[in-house]
Structure 1
Amino acid sequence: MAEDFELDTNDLERRMDGAMTSLKTEFSSLRTGRASASMLEPVTVDAYGQQTPINQVGTVNVPEPRMVTINVWDKGLVSKVEKAIRESGLGINPQLNGTIIMLPIPELNEERRKELTKVAAQYAEHARVAVRNIRRDGMDQIKKAKADGMSEDDQKFWETEVQDLTDKFIAQVDAALEAKQAEIMQV
């Protein structure tokens, strides 16, 4: 029965690629001294009973290199958006002006750069965990097929395939982290 077992490595690769895409999105939110609308992407607001991205509760603009503004559409959400930004760990102090929240982007000092490299390392670790969880799913499928009568040679072959895929994506995560940390530390 298990002789015709075919592990869907394309599915595993697609899911691991999703973890990399997520990591790149999180990395784009880490500021390197310049204002960018993407720095707010991972920040969510408790709006209307669920976690909502900031760009879905207001208009995010970058009027100048060191300023991001958010024009919140619903007056009742202004304080929630402000609180979400304060608690996000971005190190930005929001200033209110009616329904507009202004985010002045301060120069990065050495201490803040080191903090941001640690945040980048945390994001990378989350990506590694996601890749390992996908690896575990693949290994579980192989174990199930082994229990259904797959040969040991086939089991070893598929385990090697899954491990090679995992190693490839972990190396990509490490390379992305190294590049982002170098970018953050660049003065």
Structure 2
Amino acid sequence: MNEEVQFILDATKESMDGSIAHLEKALIKIRAGKASPAMLSTVMVEYYGSQSPLSQVANINTPDARTISVQPWEKSMIPEIEKAIMNSNLGFNPMNNGESVIINVPPLTEERRRDLVKQAKSEAEDARVSIRNARQDANKDLKKLDISEDLLGNAEIDVQELTDKYIKKVEDILDVKEAEIMKV
């Protein structure tokens, strides 16, 4: 196959891989009832004048399925950590015991589960759109090349097969997440 065509296919695959990675990252933030340190992955804390990820100023773990414990390396950071968690819009209400910040993860109501499934579906749709955009860009780039009609047709079929494969991946990831969210 033509090198230019292969380059376009590789770039398209890379772009679609990026869409899948973004989807997985977005779905980690959608909680599924069970406490996980990943729920706090987006929390940034004011640390000596600069914003730092929570994981760089404290040890985060889950003593049980409904609790997240945040043990700061400096006790003076407890109020900052509480403030950062409150401001992160994750819906958590942190408490401190003087040593660490404790977050009780409330069980999800049926309505909240449905909302989270909608949110997951929305993220999946964004990933599908991103994959289709990559297909569209690839087809445009292929048409710009000075290649035979047969080669162009075959390359477009390859791009479509790639698109179908990645859309299927999105569906599989969404199905797993949806089952995780709805499991009581």
TM-score between the two structures when normalised by the length of structure 1: 0.77
Which of 63, 67, 84 is 1:81 aligned to? 84
Identity across matched positions, percent: 36
Distance 1:137 1:97, change over 3 A: farther
1:143/1:40 CA distance change after superposition, 3 Å: farther
Stretch deviating more after TM superposition (66-75 or 30-39): 66-75
Q: Does 1:162 align with 2:159?
A: yes
Cα 1:164–1:80, aligned 2, differ >3 Å: closer, same or farther?
A: farther
CA distance in 1, matches of 2:84, 2:93: 12
3-state DSSP of counterpart to 2:5: coil
Aligned twin of 1:17 = 17
Is residue 144 from structure 1 mapped to residue 144 from structure 2 by the alignment? yes
CA deviations over 1:130-181 (Å, ceiling 9, x no partner): 3223223322321321xxx222332222222112211211121122212211
In the alignment of these two chains, the number of paired residues is: 177
Distance of aligned partners of 1:165 and 1:4 in 2 relative to their CA distance in 1, 3 Å threshold: closer
TM-score, length of structure 2 as denominator length: 0.78
Q: Distance in 2 between matches of 1:22 and 1:99?
A: 35
Distance 1:122 1:101, change over 3 A: farther
Structure 1: distance between partners of 2:149 and 2:58:
57
Q: 1:57 Cα shift?
A: 3.8
Tell me, what secondary structure is at the counterpart of 1:128?
A: helix
Q: 1:115 to 1:138 in 2, by over 3 A?
A: same
Q: Residues 86-165 of structure 1 correspond to what in structure 2 (within 5 A)?
A: 87-88=89-90, 91-97=91-97, 100-145=100-145, 149-165=146-162
Q: 1:105 to 1:155 in 2, by over 3 A?
A: same
RMSD: 2.7
Q: Which residue of 1 aligns with 2:176?
A: 179
CA distance in 1, matches of 2:43, 2:135: 29
